[in-house]
Amino acid sequence: MPPLPQRITYRLAVEQLPGKLADVARAIEEQGAEVVGTDRTSQQRHVVFRDVTVEVRDAEHGDTIAATLVDLPGVELLAITDEVLAAHDHGKIRVEVTREVDGPGDLALVYTPGVAKVCRMIAEDPTAAYRLTIKSNSVAIVTDGSAVLGLGDIGPLASLPVMEGKAMLLKSFGDVDAYPVLIDEQDPDTFVDTVARIASGFGGINLEDIAAPRCFEIEGKLRQRLDIPVFHDDQHGTAVVVLAALMNAAEVTGRELSSLRVVVQGVGAAGVAIINLLRAAGIERIVPVDIDGIVEPTRKGGVDPIRRRVAKQTNPDGLTGGKEVALERADVFIGVSGPETLPLELVKTMADEPIVFALANPTPEIHPDVARGHVGVMATGRSDFPNQINNVLAFPGLFRGLLDAAATAVTDRMKVAAAEGIASIVGDDLAPDYIVPSPFDRSVVPAVAEAVAATARQEGHVRPGSRGSRASEAEAAEQDAAQRAVQRAITRRFSGEDE
């Protein structure tokens, strides 16, 4: 997959002569770039100042355009603005207040002395924090920066733009207040201890970009130690969207979900989570495959503990050998591995109208153009083809639901419910090229949140006494009335009405 085009804006001083702007456009186009906008910002007697926005292939191409403009007679290059850098200028998130402090009365309400009453209430009953503090709507996005996008181990600080982006998505799509928490530590026990010590101010933990197998240990230990949901999006977010897509793909091809024979290629964090969630959804015939072939306990050379556990839980038919054995007559291929690792010849050995999810990014295991005509349903991780498996479909709604229910954990049943919520949005428009909704479909988050919250309540994984546990309306109204009375009393005191 070629690099995504970038937009760069060049601020130019152009001699005010006929044809000069046309010369600029022609010079840019001769370098294989496209002018997508020009804005006249100001002018002087003989010079016009313009911002010329150009779509280029990459940074090097942008430098070539700049050199061309520098050499152009009658044109002076004043500044260069990279669209990507401009979008990240001074960060992408900030803290905002929910009410202004305009005088002594406001200060008394939100700080001393009014805040003391709230502190005492929380000290006596910690569940009060879910109604009276930001804990009820806050998530920590926690990373060590060891497995960032396609960049690998770049460290926590370099990962901050990604974590900010994740916080933006949680806020924009789910109205969840999320904060990047960077932990410069790769020892699992120390990492877990650090997170546990800061977790009390949050309603949930989103683990992000932590390398396998360390991520499995960290997630497991945090789940045991904390009484709030811990969710590793790289594992479970991907699994939820894959399951949603598979539910609809099975319907499109006339299959029952539980009858599918599925090959999962790639037994890393995402692959293991996908296998576990498919099993939770009732799919038993799953064959895990890695670079050495079918993952099974007796394979020559042995397997690591994670693969050994997966091998014991899957492959009920006892298949052994290479990938070609696993794929023969298989209904589904799910790839979370590497580029161009699924030959068309093997796709042709699968069952009729096979379902192929080639999710390696940016280059999938098999290109959709290569697979076209040989598959019943095709999905990738790319936005330029139908059926994009995008985690944005899952995590904003999932956390919205967990917070709404004041959930104490996230379970497989909740994740299956989230997948069902995503799948339901497609409705009557279901088709081979439309098995999951767009990440920008604003009906996704409410559907997922409602499904997750309802399941949390059904399972009893909600905090007693919180609104998520469905306290009676009378109790909630009484608490609200009492709080309003306190606010009025403090306001009268500082406004002089009591004198």
In the structure encoding, which two tokens stand for residue 431, read together? Answer: 């088709």
Phi and psi dihedrals of 484, rounded to 5?
A: -65, -35
Parallel, antiparallel, or unpaired: how do β-strands 6-15 and 75-82 relate? antiparallel
Among 130, 135, 166, 415, the one annotated catalytic: 166
SS3 59: helix
CA 86-385-258 angle, 5° bins:
125
Helix (H) or strand (E) holding 404: helix 395-404
The torsion angle over the Cα atoms of residues 322, 327, 329 and 331, rounded to 10 degrees, is: 150
Helix (H) or strand (E) holding 51: strand 47-56
The region, left, alpha or beta by phi > 0 then psi within -120 to 50, assigned to residue 314 is: beta
Please say if 111 is a catalytic residue.
Answer: yes
Which residues make Cβ contacts (< 8 Å) with residue 474, sequence separation at least 6?
none
Give the C-alpha separation, 349 to 375, whole Å: 11
**Alpha-carbon dihedral sign for residues 414, 418, 420, 421:** positive
Please say if 171 is a catalytic residue.
Answer: no
In the structure encoding, which two tokens stand for residue 105, read together? Answer: 């009365």
Q: What Å distances lie between residue 270 and 208, 234, 237, 481, CA to CA?
A: 12, 6, 9, 48
Annotated active-site positions, please? 111, 166
